[in-house]
A and B are shown apart, each in its own frame.
Chain A
Amino acid sequence: MVTVKIDGKEVQVAPNTLILDAAKEAGVSIPTLCHDSRLNPFGACRVCLVEQVGNPKLQAACTTPVTDKMEIVTRSEKLSRVRKTAIELLLINHPLDCPVCDKGGECTLQDLTYEVGVTKVRFDAKPNDTPVDHTNPFIERDIDRCVLCGRCVRVCDEVVNIQAISFLNRGTDTIIGTSFEQPWNCEYCGQCISVCPVGSLNNRIYLFKNRPWNLDRVKSVCGLCSCGCTVDIDYEGNEVFRMKESPEEGINHGYMCAKGRFGFEFINSIKRESEAVVKAGGESKKVSFNEAVEVAVEKLKKVKDTAGADAIAVVVSPRLTNEEAFLAGKLAKDVLGTSNLFSTESNEVYPEATLEEVENSDCVTVLNIDVTESNPILGLAVRHAARKNTAPLAVFYPGYTALRRVSKNFVTGNPDEVRAAMESYAAAVAGASNDYSALAAKLTNAERPVVVFDPYNKADVKIAQDIKKACAKVKIVPAKSKNNSVGIVDMGFGAKCATEFAKGLESGKFKAVIVLGENLSARSVWTKSASKAAGLELLLVTDPFMSETAAMANVYIPVATFAEKSGSFTNLEGRVQSIEKAVDKGVNTDACVVSALAKGLGAQLPADVSAVRGMIEKEVPLYSGINWDGGVVSYPYVFAGEVAATDGKAKGKGKFFLYPASLRLHSGSFTRWSPDLAKVYGEPMLEIGVEDAKELGIKSNDRVKVKGEGFEGEFLVEIEKKVSKGCIALPEDFVATAGIFCNGKSLRADIVK
């Protein structure tokens, strides 16, 4: 520890601490512009200059480490003069269009200008008037406003590792730009927007829609993928205007992905339903919430009396909060007396490693999942480990993913080759000697190894289990897909296999089905049997939108999205985090629906979050005494039992291997309703490699037919150089593609022009 004196206050800090951090420790604030604590020191803006006693030169606080007995002065006449000049120099080329700039009101440069008191620039100010760049669908780039702090360039490089933007030219001609001034080739994560201290990079979804001072803010948790990012929901009245990072907060450290940052618009969608619909005799009628519940209760009673409780099934979506899932379970088990609780999730595998452990791991293996697309924040953690900690990263995937930039061991090929490679790798970890022994040795020799895999692919789960068995110190990360995929399993919706529900539908065992938020048609396990649900005595569907399943329902009740309710989600680490209600769109929550159904059936279930939490803590042992604001559930085991060996080989016949692609812009049902996401990616697109495309003579945006055993479909083509030769990929969560992947995760197919 070294002792430093900052503005007369003495503090003890670790050696090599930056002056800026030491000052924070001492409670002294130093103005900064280009500094970001998550990024490497840069020192571009010279706003944080401080005086060191005994040194005639001024030091940049954000780049200079402290030494013992250092004495720092942060406020003096000289410094305020220097800072003022630094800001004045920045303002030479900065257009003073704050009234039209979207950053106005939350702009660091604006704040600093006020702070140092610049009212007039002494220099010959000549702002440029370059046209604004709109080539990126989500990010507006106005290089005139740029102060060249480099935060966007650094975050894109150090954190996201895409390097989509960089400094171009030298000296006074320097600008932030893309390579060869081409359109942006990036992940649309918007990290650059979040770090930009001025209005140079703007969120186009929010562009000019409102002003920061008009917005109210709640800190909540993103309800899209299972990473569980802490976000700020900015709203005015009952409209959500933007979802943005909580700076440097949460398990995501203030990073977000394209879905979270730009995909929230479905909350405000005009396509959302506001009235319940009851269908009787082929006629649908808009009714009130109470009437719809009455009809549902009537039918539930009838089915229970005539066909018994076993003819009733409850299906929940992993979008529900823990509280709602728990209530649904209570309704099924205690009120209806049925044990038919279904969801797409299974209780085979539980989370183990936290994101922090992934970040700090010294060896990461990613098995057959495009983690940067499916779970972007988990992807950032994997990148952090591989890049900052230089941990060896092994990736197995049919096709190159964004991790290729940081992975020296990228195993690709067609899905069957990748599967064989993974099996060999697992065997090598267990001790066998093969091509992957060296790679496996890195894992077994590491202190904190981590394996990331796709828990929805049975064959992959088996491999992960084999690795875990062979090397117990390996921590596994099942990359679950939805915001509460883990939580609903904890609440009891994972015990029964999802296929059982499909069988029940097919055989006509179920007469009444309650579907809370799920879209049966878009889930590959159920999509084939979904049409059978239309003829049921009761199909009660709750969904914010009129989904394909909701359209079949004979009782439909519109419900709230995650921004309109309170509760908690359990993310892929098993971390329970509370969400806050931001807006009210005038619809009920699923909890209200369940509570009203229970009341109609003569039981009492509370809809209030704190009451339900009390019940959960009593009845779910895993959650007893849990901290609902970030507590991690400690699971007694990782794998529930021996995972059955499945043949992971591609099924059927055909020239191409077809595998499910992950999408950065969609994670299933809700984001399809976001207009700006739909503009960029509106329908499932067939990804095909460059060589194959050339061979077949197809171009981007052609429509081709994909044909395989038992399926057929026509899709738009997107030529992707990352896809391996002989492979094609389709996203899974669309109705059209769910019908394909119900045949298996890895298929063979032909392309017919």
Chain B
Amino acid sequence: MKNVFETIFFTEILQGLGITLSHMFKKPVTYRYPFEATPIQDRFRGIQYIKTHADGRTKCVGCYLCQKVCPSECIHIETDCGPNGERLIRKYELDLSRCIYCGYCEEVCPVDAIHMGWEWNTVASDRSGYVINMKTLSQNYKDNVEGNWKNKHLKKKLVEGVQQ
């Protein structure tokens, strides 16, 4: 009986129509990238940065753990003995075109040097810029701390997050 009623009066179709109508008045979820920023969550994993000491020396000690743990093998480190017998980082290269942003490097770092930042815009017209070195990574830290992002929209809240 109910079935006949439903068939005659298209109740299911009307229900469907009701749903679409109600959705029409919802706020659209679209972000108009690149004209409008997509929101970035606190635990977002973007381009890495490496912390520096107050005097500008890198915190990284060149222990190779991030290179070892990296599943996409995008980190390449070369170290050597410095003039005073200290550990010297000859080369620290991170290939952003290979990085899968898993955050293992951040996890494994024993000296709290490498971190995942909030910057994610790697778009460039050639590949050369994808391999970033210690200089860029340190600059990234500065940019992250100062909120000097390429994407201006990143919120102030995040700046505080880095400073902590």
Contacts and interface: CB of A to CB of B under 8 A. Distances in A.
10 contacts: A99-B65, A99-B111, A132-B85, A134-B85, A208-B62, A208-B88, A210-B79, A213-B68, A214-B64, A214-B68
Contact of B80 (A100, A209, A213): A209
Interface in B63-118: 63-65, 67-68, 79-82, 85, 87-88, 110-111
A208 B80 CA distance: 5
A156 B29 CA distance: 74
A204 B86 CA distance: 11
A209 B82 CA distance: 10
A355 B130 CA distance: 57
A213 B63 CA distance: 11
Interface centre among A104, A132, A204, A211 (most CB of B within 10 A): A211
Interface of B: 61-65, 67-68, 79-82, 85, 87-88, 110-111
A103 to B, nearest CB: 12
Given A99-B65, A208-B80, A208-B82, 5 more contacts: A132-B85, A204-B81, A208-B87, A213-B68, A214-B67
B87 A209 contact: no
A164 interface: no
Contact of A98 (B81, B85, B110): B110
Contacts of A104: 63
Interface in A94-120: 98-100, 104
Nearest to A206: B81
Contact of A99 (B61, B82, B85, B88): B61
A105 to B, nearest CB: 9
A209 B85 contact: no
A213 B108 CA distance: 15
A144 to B, nearest CB: 14
B64 A208 contact: no
A140 interface: yes
B81 A99 contact: no
A735 interface: no
A209 B81 contact: yes
Contacts of B68: 211, 213-214
A36 B65 CA distance: 30
B81 A100 contact: no
A207 interface: yes
Contacts of B82: 208
Nearest to B109: A99
A639 B161 CA distance: 82
Interface string A105-143: 000000000000000000000000000101000001000
A210 B61 CA distance: 13
Interface in A208-260: 208-211, 213-214
A209 B63 contact: no
Contact of B79 (A134, A208, A213): A208
Contacts of A214: 64, 67-68
A100 B62 contact: yes
Contact of B61 (A100, A132, A134, A209): A100
Contacts of B65: 99
Contacts of A211: 63-64, 68
Contacts of B81: 204, 207-209
A132 B110 CA distance: 22
Interface in A583-618: none
A209 B111 CA distance: 19
Interface string A191-216: 00000000000001001111101100
Nearest to B63: A99
Contacts of A213: 64, 68
A214 B64 CA distance: 9
B135 to A, nearest CB: 20
A208 B86 CA distance: 8
